[in-house]
Amino acid sequence: MSELAERFETHDPGEKLVAEKIRCDACPVMCYIADGRTGACDRYGNVGGRIVRMDPLTILDHTSQTGAAIVPFVAEGEAWDGELVNTGRRFVTAIGAGTTYPDYKPAPFIVSQEVEGVDLVTVVTEGIFSYCGVKVKIDTDRHIGPETAIVRAAGEAIGHVTTGEYGSQMLSLGGVHHLTGGSKAEGRATCDALLDLCNRKPVELAIDGGATTIVEAGKPPVIDGKQEHRMRVGCGSATIGMFATQWRGLVDEVVVVDDHITGVVSEHQAGKVLGWQDTGIKIIGRRSTPGRYFKVSEPGLGWGGTSISDPLSILGEWNAKKGARPGLSLLMVSTTGEQFAYYELDDELKPVLKPFPERLQKSVGLIEDNCEPALCTVLFIGGAGGSLRAGVTENPVNLTRSVQGLTTYVTVGGAPVYVWPGGGITLMVDVTRVPEGAFGYVPTPALVAPIEFTLRRDDYIRLGGYEAEIRSVEDIVAKGGEYFNPRRGTGAAASNPWPPLAQLRRAASNETG
Ligand code: SF4
């Protein structure tokens, strides 16, 4: 049983309050925590009779974006002495901020800051996301499982295979049905896997009727024990189109083996335009258009995402009347250039494997060079609707409208998000852009994710914000908040810009115009 699962087992929110225990009210579980211990989620503890958020509040320093050096102003675990080392542009993230619960309370931090003459407010809270999951993109041609197949972690169903993309297999994991709609074990396993994936840890996923993969955000996937290195340059047809000129005059026929579209240069439009001669080749598969074949094999872990290990198995009889002749040369290659073989037809018009000729090395190398590294991408998706918004404004729908109208800019741990069009605030964020360890959980079960809403101060007041709770960055750095945790400064990732002034200015000019 995992550490997380053990906590689910041992925690009893209904246990009686005893004298030395105090109640954490940061989520509906309402743990009673003894002095020196932490609650069920490990995020809050009883330190000397006070409920303390155990991780430091993370404040990002954007000094590097103005070219100055980054100086961490307090190391993790050190006590904050109140001295302001960095006075450059900072961003108070929700990492370590604490949660707004019950939701009518104002968010833990409502931060004011003037940036380039614009008065901005950032509302900061650690949101509890019951409606959340991850979308996983696995860069591979290999067949990891059929669409809609169940994906399991620790033996429990936590999601499914969804529609594949160009060069990638896609998983949809988590969601409220797996978190809360199934058995307790399913909810735990789902929460466990989502938390690890969001915090960029490796997670083993087994797909019904398919492969076992190890997924880690930003790292190459491992499929049935083999690490993937490259994602394909394109489908077989696209590969023919891209490299036909490289092969002209060097070989009589080229077949690019691909589970989706296998390409044949002599028949393909690219080859025709270049004056390629017919070769009498026969592909066993469903011909789509000239030189493009579907379903040459079942999907699998072999050449180009097919199940084959011998590429000749997709070829039929060669036809002498259509150009086949002894000595005709044939290159067969996969869409990543990782598998390749060279053949010549014998007197019976049977392809015979020959040593790979030097003259074709460059073209195969070119395919490999054009392949990007294979990676796993994990996007956290969550609905910041419902009551979380009440911690931002007394009239929650105003926040939704403001986000949808681009007047309010949403970030997760300082990372930009994509907000889905339509109702509510359904956001997606690349977890590799979020500072490490930013995600937590509560045993309901649900994930906890930092979320910040930044908007112009006058807009914030207009939409019913908690004006009396607004504090300066300096005050927050010096005094902290209601959960007594230290503050920690760290350099912001260069890819996460602060602040989104262009957007906020544009929104303001749209309103006045
Ligand atoms: S699970 Fe965590 S946040 Fe919820 S009450 Fe317990 S310690 Fe507090």
More confident residue, 265 or 14: 265
Q: Is the CB of 54 under 6 A from ligand 1?
A: no
Q: Return the percentage of the chain with pLDDT > 90, whole number.
A: 69
- Ligand 1 touching residue 39 (CB < 6 A): yes
Q: Do residues 471 and 122 touch, judged by C-beta distance below 8 A? A: no
Given a contact cutoff of 8 angstroms between Cβ atoms, the answer to whether 306 and 259 are in contact is yes
Residue of 327, 328, 357, 359 whose CA lies nearest to 342 = 357
Phi–psi pair at 260, nearest 5 degrees: -90, -60
Q: What is the 3-state secondary structure (H, E, C) of 211-250?
A: CEEEECCCCCCEECCEECCECCCCCHHHHHHHHHHHHCCC
Positive or negative, the Cα torsion across 77, 79, 82, 83? Answer: negative
Q: Measure the N-to-C terminal CA separation of the chain; round to a whole number of Å.
A: 60
- The confidence score (pLDDT) of residue 386 equals 65
Contact 304, 313 (CB under 8 A): no
41 Cβ inside 6 Å of ligand 1: yes
314-353 pLDDT per residue, tens:
999 999 999 999 999 999 999 999 899 999 999 999 999 9
What is the structure's pLDDT at 94? Answer: 95
Could you give the angle at the alpha carbon of 75 between the alpha carbons of 480 and 4, nearest 5°?
Answer: 80
Per-residue pLDDT of 17-74, as tens digits, reads 445 799 998 888 999 999 999 999 999 999 999 999 999 999 998 875 544 444 444 4
Q: Tokens 């900061």 sit at which residue?
A: 124
CB 364 within 8 A of CB 337: yes
The answer to whether the beta carbons of residues 107 and 100 sit under 8 Å apart is yes
Q: Are 80 and 86 in contact (CB under 8 A)?
A: no
Higher pLDDT among residues 495 and 101, named by residue: 495
Nearest CA to ligand 1 atom 4: 27
DSSP assignment letter at 299: B
What's the CA-to-centroid distance between 308 and ligand 1, angstroms? 52
Q: Choose the residue to mutate in 15, 31, 33 for probing ligand 1, maximizing ligand atoms within 8 Å of C-beta.
A: 31
Bridge partner list, 129: 447
Cα–Cα dist 424/411, whole Å: 16
* Model pLDDT, residue 511: 57
Q: Is 61 exposed, middle or buried (0-12, 13-18, 19+ CB in 10 A)?
A: buried
d(CA 186, CA 176): 11
Is the dihedral angle over the CA atoms 56, 60, 64, 69 positive or is it negative?
Answer: negative
What single DSSP character describes residue 63? G
CB 476 within 8 A of CB 162: no
Q: What are phi and psi of 410, to 5 degrees?
A: -105, 135
Q: Is the CB of 53 under 6 A from ligand 1?
A: no
Whether residue 43 has its Cβ less than 6 Å from ligand 1: yes
The CA distance from 258 to 29, in Å, is 51
Length of the chain measured in residues = 513
Cα dist from 221 to 141, 306, 326, 376, 460, whole Å: 11, 18, 43, 6, 43
pLDDT at 249 over 90: yes
Q: Of residues 288 and 69, which shows the higher confidence score?
A: 288
**Cβ atoms within 10 Å of 2's Cβ, excluding its own:** 14
Q: Which of 225, 392, 201 is nearest to 301 (CA)?
A: 225
Q: Which amino acid is at 289?
A: T
Q: What is the mean pLDDT of residues 131-156?
A: 96
Q: If we measure between CA atoms, which residue out of 505, 479, 473 comes closest to residue 121? A: 473
Alpha helices in 2-152, H assignment, sequence order: 3-10
> By C-alpha distance, which of 472, 389, 396 is closest to 110?
472
Question: Which structure tokens are listed for 267?
Answer: 């028949």
Is residue 502 very low, low, confident or very high in pLDDT (cuts 50, 70, 90)?
A: low
CA of 70 to the centre of ligand 1 (A): 34
Q: What value does the mean pLDDT take over residues 426-439? A: 95
Neighbours of 287 (CB within 10 A): 12
* Residue 103: half-sphere exposure toward Cβ, Cα within 13 Å: 15
Report the pLDDT value the prediction gives residue 11, as an integer from 0 to 100: 42
Distances (CA, A) of 41 to 94, 441, 462: 17, 6, 36
Q: Whose CA is nearest to atom 2 of ligand 1?
A: 41
129: confidence class by pLDDT, cuts 50, 70, 90: very high
d(CA 7, CA 188): 10
Q: Tell me, using a 6 A CB cutoff, whether residue 191 lines ligand 1.
A: no
- Ligand 1 atom at minimal distance to the Cα of residue 38: 7
443 lines ligand 1 (CB under 6 A): yes
Q: Whose CA is nearest to atom 7 of ligand 1?
A: 39
CA distance 110 to 98: 12
What per-residue confidence (pLDDT) applies to 71? 45
Residue 251 contacts residue 360 (beta carbons within 8 Å): yes
Q: Which residue has the tokens 């696209």?
A: 238
